[in-house]
Structure 1
Amino acid sequence: MQDSQGTDHTEQKKSDLDPESFTWLKVLSYKENLKALESTRFRQPASDQHQYLDIGCGPGNFLMEHLLPRLRPYRRFVGTDISRDMIEYARTRYGTQDVSFELLDIDHGNPQAIVDKYGPFERAYSFLTFHYVWDLDRAYRNIHRLLGDGGECLVVYFTRTGITDVWHRLYQDEEWRRYMPNLAEMFAERYCMDEPVPEKELVARERSAVAAAGLDMVACRTYSSIWTFPSVDACLKTYVPFFKLDAKVPAQRRGAFWEDWRRALREGSTTTASGGIALTYEIILAHSRKPGAAA
């Protein structure tokens, strides 16, 4: 994909996330995605003539296991992601005649090739992806281009999470900073790290981007969710491989690295009745619609 200046933003993009580890998070992420789906009332009913889009589909597991069964029968489903690793993983496991996977940087890329190939979409979804999107205005402009008249979009993403709060605190330690990914470079500037979420400001920002793109906001809200893990180590074994947090840590220092993470995670979480840990995740949901004849 190329932007208006001809700069390629997607074709050679490698992921900072591990596709295999991505599936380990599916119990909690599925729960979050399904909660958002259950609370959303689309104006246009699903149809076997419609085609749907999943923006930031990752390895494609949620699309295949939950979105498709909900929307069958349909004409086509297209999953997109910025990462070649994720798209290749999804194509290998899930590609079929009516399910396709394409590279797309919704933040910086140009979606015209997808529109030219498939035509406009009746509905677009994006689950737990937009916290990586820096240019919110451009992302929604791209969504506008991808949707047909009357098409709808559901965007759900984190504004703050308990795990990144702990990560941010540990990143202040000079010993580990040189090895760990920098949160400020990974997540968008509106993402909150170990600080209160300005909910009204974030909702206003979302509404502004949607309106500037020529879309109508149907609903926008923020809410909190509690993610629980059976133990500190269970949490770490989920997130450390996923974000490749210890990839650059020397082998002889990994034991100390994990111990410091265990300590920081205990301090940054609450204990559940069963002896596990709980972390708070803050979320924003935006349901928008492209004006037009369909309703």
Structure 2
Amino acid sequence: MNIGFFTATYYPTPDGVSHYLRDLKAALEKKGHSVHVFSLNGDRKEANVHVPYSVPFPAYPQYSVPIFPIPFHIFSLAKKAGLDIIHIHDPFMGSLGYRVSRQMGIPAVATFHTDFVRMKDSLNIPMKGLLFDMTWRYTIFLYRRCSTVLAPSRKTVRFLIDSGLTRVTELPLFVDDDVYRCEKRIVGDAFRVQFIGRITRDKGVFNILRIASLLKNNKDIKFVISGTGPDEERLVKNIRDQGLTETVEFTGYVSPEGKIDLLKRASVFLYPAVADTFGISVWGFLL
């Protein structure tokens, strides 16, 4: 099968969806399928990854916006790729994917990865309330036209149905258990509470600091926060200002290999995100 992924983010962008799609693409290719990725960012050197001319999004530099509102070059490439099915991963590039599916007469399915509305507190942009409300309404409008919408949990299925969708299918996320299986845990002196994810308000990292502040007199508990994002400077400042430097460690971005090592050392994995439907890092710790 010839599959087209339409997504706003792709590897090596440091977020869960981009890494997940890279792994999913590789797994499908091993089974003999062909996967074309049409994304606003990604590694152009990777086979069948198509990225339009884009610039960093000022409010969130790790993501990009296209220079031209409609990337006609990508639209043309998608039509020439001989796709059998379109897989939409967000409403932004997903709009282009849906248009391709209509033009080619092929089905479009979508995966609901993130509740974008819950991300609005993480961005400082004008009229964000109106902007996020319009984005959500458009998301439902677009996804209602797909053959089905895939959701990673029963709770997300119920949420989408309550929001007006009718064709929703529960499909858990895929992970490579050979990579993430942490059978040999590394036990240290301290009880380690680990977080891995984007450093933004919607990920709940500042709630972790509130917990750490309540427990800062217990030197046997160590909080480790790993990731990158627009709130890094604020996080580091809060750690310092709240006197948490002895019990909270911020590692910054970690490689996939470093992530596995952190999961092996963790006593507890804490993931208080409010916008994610099911963080891929959670699966990594459970295996």
RCO higher in structure (CA 8 A, sep ≥6): 1
| TM-score of the alignment, normalized to the shorter chain, above 0.5 | no
**TM-score, normalising length: structure 2:** 0.43
**TM-score, normalising length: structure 1:** 0.42
